[in-house]
Amino acid sequence: MDELSAQIRNCMYQYSRAIYRTIKDLIDPYADPDEQLEYRRAVLEACEDTMERLATDPHYFANPDKTLFQDIRRYFPITQQAQVAWAVQEGVGAAVAFVQTQIEAGAFDGGVARCRATTRKGKPCQRTPLPERDYCPSHQHLEHSKVAA
């Protein structure tokens, strides 16, 4: 693992901690102490798994906030669900924004190669380039125009 991806992981860890700290005291207060401990561990693990997945595979993780909320909502009483949903949305949203800036800065280019084209929606193309090329099959004409120029 290079230094940059280690840094990204460290940042993601901070996000997962921040989410956990915000919601840990909302865990079902009527569960017995052993259960509460177990719930806390499960919530922390779910936060960390979400961030881990975001750090390693951000392109293919759709709706990470909804996924995390679905994973942990059962540990919270119904009266706290809105609070938990909000905290998860805010925390994961911040982490996603962070990962997005890292993607734009090229931090994820070292791993799996991505097509260099920009789609009509202005987002980077996520497809795999042709072998030893910078562009995917749909954008390969861009490579020719670059060579011609």
Let me know: does 126 contact 43? Beta carbons within 8 Å.
no
d(CA 13, CA 111): 20
Q: Is 142 in the site for Zn ion (CB under 5 A)?
A: no
d(CA 12, CA 92): 10
Tell me which of 9, 73, 127, 133 binds Zn ion, using CB under 5 A.
Answer: 127
Interface mask toward Zn ion for 69-108; x: CB under 5 A? ----------------------------------------
Tell the smallest beta-carbon distance from residue 124 to Zn ion (Å). 9
User: Taking the alpha carbons of 61, 70, 90, 29 in that order, is the dihedral positive or negative?
Assistant: negative
Tell the smallest beta-carbon distance from residue 138 to Zn ion (Å). 5
Let me know: does 19 contact 88? Beta carbons within 8 Å.
yes
Q: Is 117 in the site for Zn ion (CB under 5 A)?
A: yes
Structure tokens at 38: 């177990």
Question: Which of residues 68 and 115 has its CB atom nearest to Zn ion in the complex?
Answer: 115
Q: Is 114 in the site for Zn ion (CB under 5 A)?
A: no
d(CA 21, CA 11): 15
- Contact positions vs Zn ion (CB under 5 A): 115, 117, 125, 127, 136, 139
